[in-house]
Structure 1
Amino acid sequence: MSHRTHLAALGRAELTLLLRSKANLFNVLIIPVMLVGTMKVVMDQFDLGAAGLSLGPVMISTAAGIVLLMALYTPLTSIYVMRREQLILKRLRSGEIADLTVLLGSAIPVVAVVPVQFTLISTGITLAAEEGGPRSLHLAFIGIVLGVVLITLLAALTTVLARTAENAQVAVLPGMFLLPLTSGTYIPLEVYPHALQEVFRFFPLTPVTDLVRAGWTGSMTAGQAAVRVVTLLVWITLIAGAANRWFRWEPRT
Structure 2
Amino acid sequence: MSDVMDTGAGRTARASAGPAARSTPGRRLRALARAELTLLARNRTAVFTALLVPLVLPFSVRPALDQLDLKGQGLNVGTVLLTAAIGFAFLFAVYTSLVSAFVSRREELVLKRLRTGEIGDPEILLGTALPSLCVGLAQCVIVAVGCGLLLDTGAPKAPLLAVAGVLLGLVLSAALAAVTAGITKTVESAQVTALPLMFVSMLGSGMAVPLETLPDRLADVCRFLPLSPAVRLVQGGWTGQLTGGQVLGTLAIALAWTAVAVFAVQRRFRWEPRH
TM-score interval, normalised by the smaller of the two chains? over 0.9
Which letter does structure 1 place at the counterpart of 2:79?
A: P
1:207 aligns with 2:251: no
Determine if contact 2:137/2:170 at 8 Å carries over to the other structure.
Answer: no
Percent of counterpart pairs with the same letter?
43
Equivalences for 1:96-245 in 2 at 5 Å? Answer: 96-245=118-267
Match of 2:81 in 1: 59
* 1:41 aligned to which of 56, 59, 63: 63
Deviates more, 1:34-43 or 1:103-112: 34-43
Q: Are positions 1:249 and 2:262 aligned together?
A: no
Residue identity opposite 2:258 in structure 1: I
Residue aligning to 1:86: 108
Task: Give, as a single letter, the amino acid of the residue that structure 2 aligns with 1:195.
Answer: R
Deviates more, 1:216-225 or 1:165-174: 216-225
For normalisation by structure 1, the TM-score amounts to: 0.96
For 1:213 and 1:61, locate their aligned partners in 2 and report how far apart those are by CA, in whole Å: 6
Cα distance in 2 for partners of 1:115, 1:162 equals 26
- Residues 1:32 and 2:54 aligned together: yes
Q: Deviation of residue 27 (structure 1)?
A: 1.3
Mapped partners of 2:48, 2:165: distance in 1 = 25
* Residues 60 and 212, structure 1, Cα contact 8 Å, conserved in 2: no
Report the 3-state secondary structure (helix = DSSP H, G, I; strand = E; otherwise coil) of the residue aligned with 2:186.
coil
Q: Deviations over 1:143-184 (max 9, x none)?
A: 111111111110000012211111111110111111122211
TM-score (norm 2): 0.88
Q: What pairs with 1:1-16 in structure 2 (closer than 5 Å)?
A: 1-16=23-38
List runs of 5+ in structure 1 lacking aligned partners. none
Give the C-alpha shift of residue 32 in structure 1: 1.4
Tell me the secondary structure at the aligned position of residue 272 of structure 2: coil
Instruction: Decide whether the 8 Å contact of 2:94 with 2:133 is kept in 1.
Output: yes
Contact 2:54 2:93 (C-alpha < 8 Å) held by counterparts = yes
Number of residue pairs aligned between Structure 1 and Structure 2: 253
Deviation, 1:41, is 3.1
Q: Does the CA-based 8 Å contact 2:98-2:132 persist in structure 1?
A: yes
1:17 correspondence with 2:39: yes
1:21-62 Cα distance to aligned partner (Å, 9 max, x none): 222211111121111222323322322123332222211211
Q: 1:236 to 1:199 in 2, by over 3 A?
A: same
Q: Which runs of 5+ in 2 are unaligned?
A: 1-22
- RMSD of aligned Cα (Å): 1.3
Helix, strand or coil at the partner of 1:167: helix
Q: Which runs of 4+ in 1 moved over 3 A?
A: none
- 8 Å CA contact retained: 1:57, 1:213: yes
Letter in 1 for 2:144: S
Shift of 1:125: 1.5
**Match in the other structure for 2:97:** 75
Q: In the alignment, residue 46 of structure 2 is paired with which amino acid? A: N
